[in-house]
Structure 1
Amino acid sequence: MSSMHFQPPSRDAVKNKFITSMSMLLIVISLYVTCYMLFFRTVEVDVTRDAGIEYRGEDGSASVRVINRNQNYNQRIQEFMDSITYEVTPAKRLKNNDVLTITAKYDETLASRYHVNPVAVTRKVTVENLPERFADVSEIPASFLKKLDERTKSYLNKNMDQILDEDFTSFFIRSEVELVDQKQIYRVFLDGKKSSAKDKIIDIYAITAKGEVNTSSKKETLKVKEDTIYYMITYNEINTSLSILDENVYGEKLIINDALDMNKENQFIDFMKSKYKSMYELHIMKSSV
C-alpha cells in the first residue's frame, strides 16, 4: 500500500490565486462605485444655467419669456431636467437695464428619485440689447430703406392677383382685370407719440388697371376702361433692430372720397392725419408727386 503525501501548492499557484482574487475584488468594487455614481450619488444641478431668455419688442415696451433649454444631460437626470419650467418677473413693459428674477419650478418627486439636489433655483438677469426707437427719421440707414424698396416690390408681386380681383370694385364683376401700371407716390414715417404706438414706415402706391365697365343702366353694355386705386403697405415696429417680421407687414386699399387729390401733398397729409388721429407725427420721406 503506497503512502499518500500532502503537497502544498507551489508559490506560483498561490500567487496566481491571489492575483485572481484581487482582480475579482477590484471588479466588484468598480461595479459598486459605478452603480453608486450613476444611480445613488446625490448630484447638484444648476437648474437656471441653461434657461433660454427670449425678448420680444423694443426698449420700454418689450416682453420676455423663458424656456427650458436643458439638454444633453446623462440619461439618469434628463427626465428631471425635462420637468423644469420657469417663472419670470417682471415680464412686460421691459426696458434696458431692468433686472429680471427667473425662478425654476421642477418635479420634486423626480428630484428625489434621481437623487438630484437643485441649486441656483433663482437667478437675476439684467435686460440688455433691446432695440430702440430712432430719435429722428434721419437716423434710419439708407441700406435698410433700400431693403424695404425690394420688400415692397416683392409684396406687390406676390399679392397683385388678389389686389386686382378684390380691390378694383368699379369693374364689371366678371371682367378680367389687367395691371397697367404701379407707381410709388409716397413713403411716410409715422413717429409714435406713445410707447403703445409703434413707429411705422408706409409706402403708398398708385395702381392702375383696366377692365370692363357697364356703361348702360338698361342693358349690359361693356366697355374697357382704366381705374386707379391707392394702396398702402405698412411696416410696423421700425427700430434699431433693422428687422421686420412677416406679421408686421400688411397691405390695404385706401378708402378715399372722390374730392381728395392724392397727388397734392397737402391733401394727402391731411388724409393721413385724419386716419391716424393724434397718435403719430407724420414725416414725408419720399414723394414723386
Structure 2
Amino acid sequence: MSTHFKPPGKEAMKSKTITSICMLAIIISLYATCYMLFFRTVDVDLTKDISIVYDGESGSASVKVFNSITDYNQRKQEFMDSVAYKVSPKKNLQNGDTLLISSTYNEDLADQYHIHPIHTIRKITVENLPERLSSVDELQPTFLKEINQRGTSYLKKNMEQILNEDFTDFYINSKPELQEQKLMYRIFMDANKKSNKDRILDIYAITAKGQVNVSAKGEKLEEKESTIYYMITYNEINTSFMLREENIYGEKLIYSGTKDLTNQKVFEKVIQNKYGKQFHITFLDLPVYTDDK
C-alpha cells in the first residue's frame, strides 16, 4: 500500500480558487455595504420633504411647517426625527409674502451617522391663498346651493336640541313638536376688519307646538304654537368657496321686545343693531325652494 502524499488535482485547485474568490467578493461587498450605510458621509436635504400648510385667507393667514415622512432608512429617520423647523413670518400672511424657513438638528446624531445637512434654510413665496370676495356677485350658484343643503342637514341634525332648549315659552317637561321651518332671510356680511371673516347668515322661522302654562297662579297647561328665529352662520366665505364643518354653527336670534320679524324693515333694524358696527350687510335672494317641513 502506497503512503506517498498525493497532491490535489487541477479541478480541486480550481474549485478552491473559485471558492476563495467568491468569499473575498462577499467580504468586499459586505464591507462596501457597511461603509455606504454607516461610515460614508451623506448629504441630507433638510427642507426637501417639508409640508407647508396654510390656514385662513390672504391678509390674515397663518402657516405651519413640518415633516411627517417616516419611511427613511434607520439612521436617517432617527436624525430627521431630531429636526425642528421655524418659519417667519407665520401670521397675517398674504399672497406674495416671502417665508424664511430655517431648521435645527441634533449635531451629535449628524456626527454619529456621518450626515452632512444641506439646505437648512429655504425661502418660499406665499401663493394661492383664498381672497376675500370683492363683490357678492362673485358668489357662485353652486356654492349657494351647497349652503341650502348644508343648512337643511344642520337643522335635521340639531332639531331635537333646538326644540328642547330654544323654545323657552313651553312648559319645562313639554315635548315640543316641529310644525314648520322656513328660510326667511339670507344676508352676506362683509367684515369691516381683517380680523373678522366674511360670512353668510341664514335666518329661519321655526314653529313648534308644545304645552304652555297659561295660569299665573297655578299650573294650567294648554297646547300652543310658538315661533323662534334661528340663525345658521357660514363663516369664512372667500374665493375658496369651501364650507368647513367647524365654520358652520347655529344659534337662536335674541332680540328685545315682541317685534314682527316677518317685516323685513323690522328685521333689518334688528340685524343692524346686532352686527352693523362689525359688518356691511347685504340681503341676498332666497333660493327658489326653502326646504319646509
State TM-score, norm by structure 2: 0.92
Q: Deviations over 1:94-145 (max 9, x none)?
A: 0111111111122212111111111100111111110111110011100000
**Which has the higher mean CA deviation after the structures are superposed, 59-68 or 4-13?**
4-13
2:166 paired with 1:149: no
Is residue 235–residue 250 contact of structure 1 (8 Å, CA) maintained in 2? yes
Cα contact 1:189–1:284 (8 A) shared by 2: yes
Residue-by-residue CA offset, 1:203-236 (whole Å, 9 max, x unaligned): 0000111111111122211111111110000010
SS at match of 1:169: coil
Q: What's the CA shift for 1:86?
A: 0.8
CA-to-aligned-CA distance 1:161-211 (integer Å, 9 cap, x gap)? 111111111111111211111100000000112211210000000011111
Report matched runs for 1:1-289 at 5 Å.
10-286=9-285
- Partner of 1:282, secondary structure, is strand
- Structure 1 spans left out of the alignment, 5+ residues: none
- TM-score, normalised with respect to structure 1: 0.94
- Aligned identity (percent) is 55
Between the aligned partners of 2:226 and 2:19, the Cα distance in structure 1 is 100
Q: Per-residue CA shift, 1:35-66, capped at 9, x if unaligned?
A: 11111111111011011110000011100001
- The residue identity in structure 2 corresponding to 1:282 is I
What's the RMSD between the two structures over aligned residues? 1.8
Confirm or deny: 8 A CA contact 1:70 1:82 kept in the other structure. no
- Per-residue CA deviations over 1:258-279 (Å, capped at 9, x if unaligned) read 3422112122112111111322
